Amino acid sequence: MNKKCLGISGISLIYLLFAMKKPLYLVLLTCLTVHLLAQDEGLLSGQLMLNGNVFLEDQAIGASNTPQYDHQIFGSEVWLDLNYQYKGFDLGIRMDIFNNSNLLNPRDSYSGQGVGKWYIRKQIDALSIQVGYIYDQIGSGLIFRSYEERPLLIDNGLYGASLQYSVSDNLSIKAFGGKQKNLFNTYDSFLKGAAIDGYIALGKDQKISLVPGFGFVNKTFSDDQINDIIGTVRNYTPVDSIGLYYNSYAFSVYNTLSAGPVVWYIEGAYKSNDVYFDPEGRRQLFNGETTLGKFRNDPGSVLYSSLSLGLNGLGVTVEYKRTENFSFRADPFAALNRGLVNYLPPMAKINSYRLKSRYTPATQDLAEQAFQAEVRYAISKQFKVVHYLSNITDLAGKQLYREFDTEVTLRKSSANQLTLGLQRQQYNQEVYEGKAGVPLVETWTPYLEWFHRFTRRKSIKIESQFMSTGQDFGSWLFFLAEYNVAPRWSFAISDMYNVEPVKSEDLHYPRLDIVYVKNANRFSLSFIKQVEGVVCAGGICRLEPAFSGVRFTLNSTF
């Protein structure tokens, strides 16, 4: 070992890691990082993200009865990323700290700290080698995607090794293996996979291209996992008994066709028999009665396709997806957003306006048939229109979600812009939020946004939305005013008002935000009253209770 690694800094870091009971690989990684940082060459970069919440109880809106409101009062999350590049090596490490956090479970409190990820990557000619925590995907992610969504505390990086080899400019092969991350531990099952991706140009001028690919993933349950499943299903009656397999397999074939203004992507995936939990499945008891929820062992499939057309002033995008029994998890006992090996693309628009995004459908991995389309056209430079449609059902045709939206943008100049729109939604709250016996939520939401720039640095944005519905909480009115002084300051004040309440008295949900930006540092301080609702990130959603309190965030890059 290099003597520089045995200097005061290296010894101190190694001692701390041993004191924290970290394994030897982290000691070696830290030692190597200390050595590299002592060199004259190299590039160090990083990012610090910090969230801090002060919980102020408000029983009127339902912000109560959690450990944070009862006695903890304060909660926080911190992520510190460090990345270093030196002579073809890429090294990274991230420290995660959670203190009374409600990200893991909004109704509970979680505290923990440790190394959230680390990696070492090296490029050797056409071969890329990486060990540590790997974030990658095959195709669009139907059979494998390791990724992170911090707003929902999803971090399912693959802890293992990967190889990627570029056979030529038009052909690459990759393979990987490891265990999926579970906070500061890993799930017991072992994942391994491979993919081959190509590129083919057609025609004299090569204006037509194909980007085909094939992927494969194998999941092997551990003995402990199989024993846990046996311990559960041994209580099933013969009619619900299932066969058990240590191994399950998933395959996908995909291709992107580009021909002038047309781009067509299609991917099909198949999963062999795999044990998963069906929360809606009916299980027969020995006394003849039935109960809800059971383990199943079935194959599954997904078909996904998107087609886009881009011409002068016209853009059209159409997507289709059919999913059947495609729950693919690192642990069959994992629930909600935990242990997801794959990623199923969402089939609803990501809305930025507050009331338009109140009812967002979560992707269904057992039975979903979905279609969405968006048409954009510009009548002139000042007048643009967007039409959007989404329709989601289960495989039996039961309505889960439907959305129509038309939006018109009038741009008089770069300093004045007006956006008007109308959204119509049908949302199956019983399926998406697990609320038995509630009716289909039906909404009409007209909305308006006006932007005006006073000077090059000063501008204002006004938003107004009204949601008309007789279900759930009833109708809402939302108003926001945001004043910006570029590039430093932003001030925003908003209120969400339950104008025609169904469940309780008419309540206000005000919010105040102050944002300050200095170089690579962004600070924000907010006072928030937030109604119970669904929070989504990239099509992955969860139901969150009401929130009342003060939130501070810091995002710093270096």
Task: Read off the pLDDT of residues 423-448 as tens digits, 9 standing for 90 and up.
Answer: 999 999 999 988 888 999 999 999 99
| % of the chain at pLDDT higher than 70 | 92
Q: How far apart are CA 66 and CA 72, in angstroms?
A: 9
The reported pLDDT for the residue numbered 339 is 94
Residue whose structure tokens are 């559960």: 232
Distance CA 38, CA 30 (A): 12
Cα three-residue angle 322-327-333, rounded to 5 degrees:
165
Q: Is residue 499 within 8 Å of residue 53, measured between CB atoms?
A: no
Does residue 409 register a pLDDT over 50? yes
Give SS3 for 49.
Answer: strand
Question: What's the whole-number mean pLDDT along residues 534-558?
Answer: 88
5 has a pLDDT exceeding 70: no
pLDDT digits (tens, 9 = 90+) for 21-53: 455 445 555 555 555 555 557 899 999 999 999
Mean of pLDDT values over 381-388: 94
80-108 average pLDDT score: 94
Tell me what the mean pLDDT of segment 415-424 comes to: 96
Q: Are 278 and 366 in contact (CB under 8 A)?
A: yes
Q: Rounded to whole angstroms, how far apart are CA atoms 460 and 482?
A: 6
Q: How many CA atoms does the CB half-sphere of 496 hold within 13 Å?
A: 21
Pairing status of strand 127-134 against strand 148-149: unpaired
For residues 382 and 554, the answer to whether their CB atoms sit within 8 Å is no
Indicate the pairing of strand 43-55 with strand 547-557: antiparallel
Rounded Cα distance, 196 and 254, in Å: 10
| Residue ranges per structural domain of the chain | 1-40, 125-345
Q: Which two tokens stand for residue 84?
A: 């270093």
pLDDT of residue 544: 85
CA distance 10 to 347: 50
Query: What is the Cα–Cα distance from 219 to 340, expressed in whole angstroms?
Result: 12
Q: What is the pLDDT of residue 38?
A: 52
366: tokens are: 């057992």
Which of 36-45, 219-228, 233-242, 547-556 is least confident? 36-45
Residues 535, 540: Cα–Cα separation, whole Å? 8
pLDDT of residue 30: 55
Please compute the mean of the pLDDT values over residues 288-292 and round it to a whole number: 87
Residue bearing tokens 């000619």: 125
Quick one: angle between helices 24-37 and 8-19, nearest 10?
Answer: 160
Q: Kindly report, residue by residue over 238-275, the tens digit of the pLDDT.
A: 888 888 889 999 999 999 999 999 999 999 999 999 99
For residue 19, name the pLDDT band (cuts at 50, 70, 90).
very low
Q: How confident is the model at residue 205 (pLDDT cuts 50, 70, 90)?
A: confident
Name residue 425's beta-bridge partners. 403, 443
Q: Give the span between the Cα atoms of 284 and 286, in whole angstroms.
A: 7
Neighbours of 120 (CB within 10 A): 19
- Residue linked to tokens 């059209």: 316
Using the CB atoms, write b or e for 67-80: b if 16+ within 10 Å.
bbbeeeeebbbbbb
C-beta separation of 137 from 148 below 8 A? no
Find the angle CA(253)-CA(258)-CA(263) to the nearest 5 degrees: 85
d(CA 465, CA 357): 11
- Residue 144: predicted pLDDT: 98
Q: How confident is the model at residue 195 (pLDDT cuts 50, 70, 90)?
A: very high
And the tokens for 62?
């339902």
Mean pLDDT on 53-72: 94
> CA-CA distance, 452 to 419, in Å (whole number)?
12
Is 69 a residue whose pLDDT tops 70? yes
Instruction: Say what the pLDDT of residue 540 is.
Output: 80
CA distance 45 to 406: 43
CB 236 within 8 A of CB 252: no
Question: How sure is the predictor about 533, in pLDDT bands with cuts at 50, 70 and 90?
Answer: confident
* Predicted pLDDT at 35: 57
